Structure 1
Amino acid sequence: MNVNEIKYLHLNLNNQAELLKLIKLYENVFEMESFPYPSDNYLVKLLKNENIIFVVAKYEKDIIGGLTAHELPSTYFEANEVYVYDLAVHPNFQKKGIGSRLIEELKNISCSKGDKEIFLQADVGDDAVDFYHKIGGVPENVIHFSFSCNKKG
């Protein structure tokens, strides 16, 4: 594989098939339990949302990497901050600059829209921590809390 043959796409409404392939990539890379995939209507809803950014790395017909980011309006300044919710590269294609290029593509998109900052989280001890250091990320010590919306009863 020649890395110059990889195409990087900012998904739009015409890319439902690519979005579904990205979701399947996440399932594989993150070793998630199988789950029912979102309906076509839901995929369209996601792609229509101007505050969600999907960027994929495509090699031939396969999605080999991608990210999902959400633009969040700031209370403190008149610009959005961008939270990278998911970033994954297929294991067979890691360490070839694809993850770095995905972040660069996101920076280009976000900065051209006037967004102020991009941020993400990584689990302590995860290989991704070294990757984020390498591409210029500045770590912050935070604790992540989760709250479920599932009702018990």
Structure 2
Amino acid sequence: MTGTAEFAVARLGPGDLPRFRAMNTLFGAAFDDRENYAANPPDDAYADALLARAETVLLVAEGEGKMVGALAAYVLPKFEQARSEVYIYDLAVAESCRRRGVATALIEALRRIAREIGAWMVYVQADTAPEDEPARALYGKLGTREEVLHFDIAP
């Protein structure tokens, strides 16, 4: 892959199990969290059902015969108005392919999908650690920053 963005973005769907598995491998490597992304992968039936859901948006960027980036998002129907939001849950680019427009292309593909379904907003959360500064810079370039707190509540 060169700096001229020689990659293609595709949405995963039913039957894309090999690319689904490659996506999880990419996330595990990019986030240095192989345990959560690969230790207990979903079986094929679960993964195929997930791939078939319109509310699950899984995008991959592929170039030079390999996966170079991936984005996982969810369409969230709202209750206060008849509209939806799209939440970017994970976004990663292979280390060797960063700063080449892969993440921007993935987000732009998601924005097109959001417009097609009539979503009113796409949003993403970003960590505040120093190593996450490139992600925050990208999101700041594409959108408006809000200061929020995030809480994990065990079920």
TM-score, scaled relative to structure 2? 0.90
Contact 2:7 2:64 in 1 (8 A): yes
Seq. identity, % = 30
2:145 to 126, 131, 139: 139
Alignment-mate amino acid for residue 139 of structure 2: Y
Match of 1:38 in 2: 42
- Which whole-Å CA distance do the structure 1 matches of 2:40 and 2:128 have between them? 29
Q: Does 1:79 align with 2:83?
A: yes
Residues 94-141 of structure 1 show CA distances to partners (whole Å, capped at 9, x for unaligned) of 00011001000000011111111000100114221112112x221111
**Which 4+ runs in 1 deviate beyond 6 A?**
none
- Which whole-Å CA distance do the structure 1 matches of 2:16 and 2:112 have between them? 20
Alignment-mate amino acid for residue 78 of structure 2: S
Q: Size of the alignment, in residue pairs?
A: 148
Displacement after TM superposition at 1:4 (Å):
4.7
Match of 2:7 in 1: 6
Q: Does 1:27 align with 2:28?
A: yes
- Which whole-Å CA distance do the structure 1 matches of 2:87 and 2:17 have between them? 22
Q: Which consecutive unaligned segments of at least 5 residues does structure 2 have? A: none
Residues 26-69 of structure 1 show CA distances to partners (whole Å, capped at 9, x for unaligned) of 00001014312221111101101110101110113311101000
Displacement after TM superposition at 1:78 (Å):
1.1
The structure in which a higher percent of residues are helix is 2
Alignment-mate amino acid for residue 55 of structure 1: L
RMSD: 1.3
